[in-house]
Amino acid sequence: MAKENLHIIKIGGNVIDDRESCDKFLNSFAGLTGLKVLIHGGGKVATAIGERLGIQSNYVEGRRITDDETIDLVTMVYGGLVNKKIVGRLQSLGCNAIGVTGADAALIPAEKRKVAAIDYGWVGDIKVERINVDGWLRLLSAGWMPVVAPLTFDSEGHILNTNADTIASALAIALSDKFATSLIFCFEKDGVLADVEDPQSVIRQINPEQYAALKASGKLFSGILPKLENALKAVERGVSEVVIGNSEKLADIIAGISGTRISK
Amino acid sequence: MAKENLHIIKIGGNVIDDRESCDKFLNSFAGLTGLKVLIHGGGKVATAIGERLGIQSNYVEGRRITDDETIDLVTMVYGGLVNKKIVGRLQSLGCNAIGVTGADAALIPAEKRKVAAIDYGWVGDIKVERINVDGWLRLLSAGWMPVVAPLTFDSEGHILNTNADTIASALAIALSDKFATSLIFCFEKDGVLADVEDPQSVIRQINPEQYAALKASGKLFSGILPKLENALKAVERGVSEVVIGNSEKLADIIAGISGTRISK
């Protein structure tokens, strides 16, 4: 029997920060038929509220250090403000959303990152094989559309900060045994651009060989490389397809006429 | 067939504000067998964070006015910070908690309070008959222990502030068709005191006649009167029992040897 389709869709901070983009996206998301999970980042609102609270953002090598005050800040903002606003809006659009973090129903257990050269603080690393597949199946079979804040927890009950892209990939891989999972990363561009200067130069399809050639060419925007490597790993580990596309074109992405498809 | 027992337990802000009391309570809650729901208030942490953010608390006739900034504040603090910390701690104690607001899975629909003499702002009034009983049954039958933040939502998707006592009572009444519901209000005293000055003077049992006599005597602490009237309404409307007791004596309350029992 063919597996049921499951769309796992991640939206980044830029989409959340722009009310109009976010509303457009949520409208399309609500209209999407079938099983779906939404994973959201935090956006600038955490930084803005942190500044008002006098909490300084500390970065080491481009990564935010999650100290005691910062984990409270992101627990409030990601798990409360952003998550519940999205849930409320989806409910008003007829989409039966339920907001969760990885701690709720023990959906995404994690481990606090070990202190090595850098102490990242309250940051959680997840293992695909520890994701609570049974919990996810219960949520989805109840007819609910999970909206996931990028927070996990450890065995001592601490809430941990975890990258939203990482959660999306791990979840898609973990649920691939049960569903035909499509993993969709939505951002503000139409896809991966062959030429950073040309928004029309979307690459429609990338497989491992094409990726190697593109990487060697040096033309890709460097920020996209880890995303593509993650995507290739996900399809390697059972995810049906990964698409990177524009949050305002979700229906077209699903229809296969927009975005960059990453396949084996 | 006898209905299965369901404990609906509300803890107030004072318990949440005191780390030691809160941990004691959560330990007992985690150890409680059978179906259970925890409803928490917000505590002083919302006011403290609001002050740091420069959000002023406005009260009219003892009730907080929930303006635009305040609803964002309580959505963050109640729905994010307080709720997820409790969920994390319960998970570490082996209790499979899931944190929700009334918006999640459309569990508690509400209506924004009509503006009359006072505009309370983003405050939600709930009707027992609109509570999503099917959603609650799905949560409970999944083996999850719901932890409820005192937030609801309206049909336009706005998050609304709703009193935690009110949510606890309405939920206990709504679920009384399906379960033998015990509604337990936990606070920092051992129960309703016959003499406010004497913490040992706990009244063990109150029925409507006894309540009328106690009220007429003028000896009760006035703040307890609305709580008792709510409790009497709840037992009138099908709740098996309502108990008011000490958050640090939850096991004794459940065992029937502590607290004030309100019955028909």
pLDDT of residue A145: 98
- Mark yes or no for CB contact B158/A53 under 8 Å: no
pLDDT of residue A155: 97
Least confident span in A18-22, A57-61, B100-104 = A57-61
- For residue B92, list chain A residues with Cβ-Cβ distance below 8 A: 153, 155-157
If you measure CA to CA, which chain A residue comes closest to B49? A53
* Average pLDDT of the residues in A235-258: 96
pLDDT of residue B148: 98
* Residue A237 confidence (pLDDT) above 90: yes
If you measure CA to CA, which chain B residue comes closest to A104? B98
* Average pLDDT of the residues in A83-88: 98
Mean pLDDT for chain B?
94
- Mark yes or no for CB contact B75/A89 under 8 Å: no
- Mark yes or no for CB contact A96/B106 under 8 Å: yes
Maximum mean pLDDT: which of A75-79, A186-190, A223-227: A75-79
- For residue B52, list chain A residues with Cβ-Cβ distance below 8 A: 52-54
Question: B116 to chain A nearest CA, in Å?
Answer: 25
> Nearest CB to A88: which of B52, B80, B157?
B157
pLDDT of residue A43: 76
If you measure CA to CA, which chain B residue comes closest to A88? B157
Three-class DSSP labels, B200-261: CCECCEECHHHHHHHHHHCCCCCCHHHHHHHHHHHHHCCCCEEEEEEHHHHHHHHHCCCCEE
Question: B172 to chain A nearest CA, in Å?
Answer: 21
Q: To the nearest whole percent, how much of chain B has pLDDT over 90?
A: 79
Query: Which residue out of B23, B47, B84 would a mutagenesis test of the A interface target, given it has the greatest number of A Cβ atoms within 10 Å?
Result: B84
The count of other CB atoms within 10 Å of the CB of residue A130 is 14
- Mark yes or no for CB contact B77/A80 under 8 Å: yes
- For residue B85, list chain A residues with Cβ-Cβ distance below 8 A: 75, 159
pLDDT of residue B56: 83
Distance CA B171, CA A191 (A): 47
pLDDT of residue A88: 98
* Residue A129 confidence (pLDDT) above 90: yes
- Can you say whether residue A16 is alpha, beta or left, with left for phi > 0 and alpha for psi between -120 and 50 degrees? alpha
Question: B165 to chain A nearest CA, in Å?
Answer: 21
Distance CA B154, CA B71 (A): 13
Question: B92 to chain A nearest CA, in Å?
Answer: 5
* Residue A240 confidence (pLDDT) above 90: yes
Cβ-Cβ contacts under 8 Å for B79 (sequence gap 6 or more) = A79, A80, A81, A83, A84, B99, B101, B149, B151, B159
* Residue A152 confidence (pLDDT) above 80: yes
- Nearest C-alpha neighbor of B112 from the set B100, B96, B127, B125: B125
pLDDT of residue B44: 86
If you measure CA to CA, which chain B residue comes closest to A156? B92
CB B99 within 8 A of CB B91: no
* Residue A35 confidence (pLDDT) above 90: yes
Which one of 3.30.450.20, 3.40.1160.10, 3.50.50.60, 3.30.70.1560 gives the CATH number of domain A4-262? Answer: 3.40.1160.10
- B76 CB-side CA count, 13 A: 26
> Nearest CB to B84: which of A81, A103, A156?
A103
Helix (H) or strand (E) holding A63: strand A63-65
CB A42 within 8 A of CB A74: yes
* Average pLDDT of the residues in B248-261: 96
- For residue A92, list chain B residues with Cβ-Cβ distance below 8 A: 153, 155-157
Question: B78 to chain A nearest CA, in Å?
Answer: 7
- Nearest C-alpha neighbor of A44 from the set A81, A89, A97, A10: A81
* Average pLDDT of the residues in A28-45: 94
Distance CA A231, CA A238 (A): 11
Distance CA A56, CA A67 (A): 10
- For residue B105, list chain A residues with Cβ-Cβ distance below 8 A: 96-98, 142, 144
If you measure CA to CA, which chain A residue comes closest to B97? A105
- Mark yes or no for CB contact A81/B81 under 8 Å: no
Ranges of each domain in chain A = 4-262
Distance CA A128, CA A35 (A): 20
Q: How confident is the model over B44-77, as pLDDT tens digits?
A: 899 899 999 999 878 887 777 999 999 999 999 9
- Can you say whether residue B218 is alpha, beta or left, with left for phi > 0 and alpha for psi between -120 and 50 degrees? left
Distance CA B122, CA A107 (A): 31
Q: Which residues of A touch B (CB under 8 A)?
A: 49, 52-54, 72, 75-81, 83-85, 87-93, 96-101, 103-106, 138, 142, 144, 151, 153, 155-159
- Mark yes or no for CB contact A81/B80 under 8 Å: yes
* Residue A131 confidence (pLDDT) above 90: yes
* Average pLDDT of the residues in A57-86: 91
- Mark yes or no for CB contact A52/B49 under 8 Å: no
* Residue A63 confidence (pLDDT) above 80: no
pLDDT of residue B219: 82
Distance CA B140, CA A191 (A): 42
Better-predicted residue by pLDDT, B129 or B219: B129
Distance CA A88, CA B67 (A): 17
pTM of the model: 0.96
- The CA-atom distances, in angstroms, between A161 and each of A63, A68, A71, A149, B84 are 12, 11, 7, 10, 12
> Nearest CB to B53: which of A53, A91, A151?
A53
* Residue B14 confidence (pLDDT) above 90: no
* Average pLDDT of the residues in B112-119: 90
Mean pLDDT for chain A?
94
- For residue A83, list chain B residues with Cβ-Cβ distance below 8 A: 79-80
Q: To the nearest whole percent, how much of chain A has pLDDT over 90?
A: 78
* Average pLDDT of the residues in A45-51: 91
